[in-house]
Amino acid sequence: MTNADVALDIILIALLTISIFYPKGPHAPA
């Protein structure tokens, strides 16, 4: 894997984690 692939994986995981722990949208439990 190249550094670009690793960076993309980190970004995707970060976005997924944020979407799970900080839901902002129609699916928000608020």
Query: What are the structural domain ranges in the chain?
Result: 1-30
Q: What is the pLDDT of residue 21?
A: 76
Q: What is the pLDDT of residue 30?
A: 54
Beta carbons of 29 and 23 less than 8 angstroms apart = yes
Per-residue pLDDT of the chain (30 residues; tens, 9 = 90+): 799 999 999 999 998 888 887 766 666 555
HEC profile of 6-23: HHHHHHHHHHHHHHHHCC
Q: Which residue's entry shows tokens 């980190």?
A: 10
Entry pTM: 0.57
Dist CA 17 CA 9 (whole Å): 12
User: Could you tell me the end-to-end alpha-carbon distance of the chain, in angstroms, rounded to an integer?
Assistant: 40
